[in-house]
Chain A
Amino acid sequence: MTSRAKVIIAIGAAIGLMALCCVGGTITYFLGGLQGTPSDPANTVNDYLACGSTTQVSVTGKLPDISTLSGEQVKNAAIIIKVGQDRKVPPRGWVIAIATALQESTLHNYGDLGARNDHDSLGLFQQRPSMGWGTPAQIMDPSYAAGKFYDKLVKIPDWETMPLTRAAQRVQVSAYPDAYAKHEPLATEIVNQLANGAALAVGSSTNLHCATGTEIAASGWTVPVVARISSGWRTPDRPTHNGVDLAAARGTPIRAAASGIVIVAECNAHLASGAWYGCDRDGSLQVVGCGWWVEIRHADNVITRYCHMGSRPDVVVGQEVTAGQVIGQVGATGNVSGPHLHFEVHVNGDASYAGAVDPVTFMRQRGAPVGVVS
């Protein structure tokens, strides 16, 4: 082989390697484009491809690890979901049933606990034979117990839209009616993990679809308005923008994102000098504040905030609201350049900067993605 031929082969090999590298990079580039928004690694557990499926939940074999639950607890949750599926109860009912069992028994099929027992209460839902729930043997069968819970639940008018703890209390008639609310987030995660994201869905178990528009997902969450996002959460340009701006037209009804208690409903608008500006007229970029605004405290110490309403909110402090209930109208009061809804989500009961989370991620995980206009 001549030295010229050697050089040609070497260059050819180099070109071949470059081509491989380049093609690989190109494929990665194009596939990368299909993935859309990068997922937040801290929250991947809550991102599901589907909003439920028609496949029956398996109650045998390998079940997923969920939070800190034991295998027995996960299996009991799977049984509760399967009974709901068999009875064609919508997934909102599965979430309510699992939250109830978390409160009553932490998903353990308790027998008589002796001195610690509350009278003759037994099983996942702590049902009492003396109150007509069934024989002790029946109640200790998780499928029977879940069936009796669903029997009563689906007879309650509006059970699908009322706050979870209200629906659960109507069935259980507990001495502490608000106790079920705090279990809603974990119950939602359990249903999503065992039933392929079904807590993000609406519809019956034979006709599940992802919640769209103003529909309320089985998680109990819905979008406040259907509109595109005109300014995102803590962008490089606006690092202290603690919410998303939703570009809805003036007068669009604003809906409570989930059930809860109104903790703020007032006007907040003054000038940089500190002088009061008020909310009886449109604001501007020279005005500081939220304008007419509302804050709602939800289960598990989540707080949502709604700013710049066009007129006095439709709700008052202390009022209990249901998911999707209209709380006011889109307007342009406070610090704005035009009508929109400024929407914030805070966790851990912390209404300050430190408690704010990205509403896009938070709402997507609950099956109520903001900023989606179909």
Chain B
Amino acid sequence: MRTLLRRIGPRYGVGLGLIVLVVIVVALAKLVGHGSAPQLITNGPGPTASAPSGPPDDGEGEAPTPAAPSVNPGQTGPSAVAAKFADAWLHHDVPAKQWHAALAKYATAALADELNGADPAGVPADRVTGAPTQIDIGADFVQYAIPTDTGTLTLSLQADRGRWLVSGIDWTAT
């Protein structure tokens, strides 16, 4: 080392030392500063955080098992209501008033209101072609996908004190 310093002289030796110092400082800043750079959000557990590690996870790691749709004795279950509503919806070759009245029997007030003025001629299918698939279930909410001749009719149903009614209609053409 002494031989090397003597050969390059004290001036260059100091220069080389300074550069090594700068490299060390930058590397240290990068290491230390990485987590403390100004950020809009902080990721470290704060005073109000939940458990800092591992289970128990406060976020319901897995979806709880949904309850089966509840049906009161003497009331029609959601699958039967959906089937009746689908039949009425597909039976569209009738005057608008008649079509609307048939749907309103199985629809929530909000849905019946939304269908006010809708033209049954706009129904794009004629008949159900298969068994409905249950998409989303709960004690008070369920959806059925019903295959038809030209696409899939998706009905949302909700229970109001045990009485199941259709609350939404979606359509996807095939």
Contact = CB atoms under 8 A, between A and B. Distances in A.
A8 interface: yes
Given A228-B46, A268-B64, A308-B58, 12 more contacts: A22-B26, A25-B26, A173-B118, A174-B118, A231-B52, A245-B49, A268-B60, A285-B56, A297-B136, A317-B141, A335-B56, A338-B49
Contacts of A360: 41
Contacts of B45: 230-231, 237
Contacts of A264: 64, 138
A26 B26 contact: yes
A293 B60 contact: yes
Contacts of B154: 178
A175 B43 contact: no
Contacts of A12: 12
Given A176-B170, A177-B111, A290 B19 contact: no
A241 interface: yes
Interface residues of A, number: 81
A241 B168 CA distance: 34
Nearest to B19: A18
A338 B119 contact: no
18 contacts: A11-B12, A22-B23, A29-B26, A173-B116, A174-B118, A178-B154, A178-B156, A178-B169, A229-B41, A230-B49, A231-B49, A231-B52, A238-B52, A241-B58, A245-B50, A261-B141, A317-B158, A334-B58
Interface in B101-138: 110-111, 114-124, 136, 138
B164 to A, nearest CB: 11
A232 B169 CA distance: 38
Contacts of B19: 15, 18-19, 22
Given A29-B30, A318-B141, A176 B41 contact: no
A11 B116 CA distance: 88
Contacts, number: 210
Given A178-B156, A238-B54, A337-B50, A263 B141 contact: yes
Interface string A7-39: 110011001001100100110010001001100
Contacts of A353: 61-62
A320 B113 CA distance: 15
B51 to A, nearest CB: 5
Contacts of B56: 272, 285, 287-289, 335
A342 B50 contact: yes
Interface of B: 7-9, 12, 15-16, 19, 22-23, 26, 29-30, 37, 39-64, 89, 92, 110-111, 114-124, 136, 138-141, 153-154, 156, 158-160, 167-172
B40 A371 contact: yes
A179 B154 CA distance: 9
Interface of A: 4, 7-8, 11-12, 15, 18-19, 22, 25-26, 29, 33, 36-37, 118-119, 166, 169, 173-179, 181-182, 228-232, 235, 237-238, 240-243, 245, 247, 261, 263-264, 268, 272, 285, 287-290, 293, 297, 305, 307-308, 316-318, 320, 334-340, 342, 344, 349-353, 356, 360, 369, 371-373
Nearest to B55: A240
Contacts of B116: 173
Contacts of A177: 111, 114-115, 118, 168-169
A342 B59 contact: yes
Given A22-B19, A26-B26, A231 B46 contact: yes
A48 B58 CA distance: 33
A351 B63 contact: yes
B49 A337 contact: yes
B7 to A, nearest CB: 6
Nearest to A19: B19
Contacts of B117: 173
Nearest to B167: A318
